[in-house]
Amino acid sequence: MKKVTIITGHYGSGKTNISVNLALETAKTGERVAVVDLDIVNPYFRTADFKDLFSDYNIDLITPMYANSNLDIPAISFDLERLTSEKGYLIIDVGGDDSGSTALGRYKSVFDVLAESGDIDMLYVINKYRLLTKTPNEAVQLMREIEYTARFKHTGIINNSNLGEETDMQTVLDSLDYADEVSKQTGLPIVFTSSPCEFDCERTNIKLINRYVRNIWENG
């Protein structure tokens, strides 16, 4: 984990679930963690929904104004420069695709300073099983669009290819070549491949990820 970790990706790629996992994992080590919810595009997959869970682990949650209300409109107000100067780690969960990453552009000057000191990562979450990113070429094209609107370059890739509750070992294994090709085309490393279950594999960067975010039709 760098001082600041930005999580981007396609709608439904699992960005928020990754953000929640990283925040909890870091907080359990005793480190201070703050999560900025920049997902102002899709109100159904928000870190704001995990306020109580975060509170249990003393994780600070910064959300857009009017998040989870009947005034759920894009309204961002937080002092990123102050947050990055404080002790601990900051995770920024960004809205899907290039439209969601537009909000990042306003903080370019802060990100550039962090980049110079090596204190920031922008990680691109990919999911082979999502529409519009089923091929490496599609995934790379979307990544470039996000970078253009965010005015910042990615530093790594998280392979979060999954089929929700239907994900099994084979689902994960079948995504490895896809992730490798995305890595090859972009020149970016695979930070890890997520898995909902532990299993033996010669690939050492497979990481156990708990499923906190549910699909809309699973909520009730």
User: In the chain, what are the domain boundaries?
Assistant: 4-218
**What is the tens place of the pLDDT at every residue in 97-155?**
777 788 888 889 999 999 999 999 999 999 999 999 999 999 999 999 999 999 999 99
What's the confidence (pLDDT) of residue 67? 46
Count the Cβ atoms, other than its own, within 10 Å of residue 205: 11
Angle of CA points 96, 100, 104, to nearest 5°: 125
What's the confidence (pLDDT) of residue 212? 86
**CA dist 80 → 38, 62, 86 (Å):** 12, 10, 10
**What is the tens place of the pLDDT at every residue in 169-187?**
899 999 999 999 999 999 9
Q: Name the one residue in this structure whose structure tokens are 């925040």.
A: 23
What's the confidence (pLDDT) of residue 76? 57
What stretches of 49-166 show up as alpha helix (H) in DSSP?
Answer: 51-56, 80-85, 97-101, 108-116, 136-150
What's the confidence (pLDDT) of residue 105? 85
**What is the tens place of the pLDDT at every residue in 5-58?**
999 999 889 998 999 999 999 999 999 999 988 876 665 556 667 888 999 999
Instruction: Report the CATH architecture of 4-218.
Output: 3-Layer(aba) Sandwich (3.40)
In DSSP terms, 64 is beta-bridged to: none
- The arithmetic mean of pLDDT across residues 49-70, rounded, is 76
Residue 99 CA to residue 129 CA, distance in Å, equals: 21
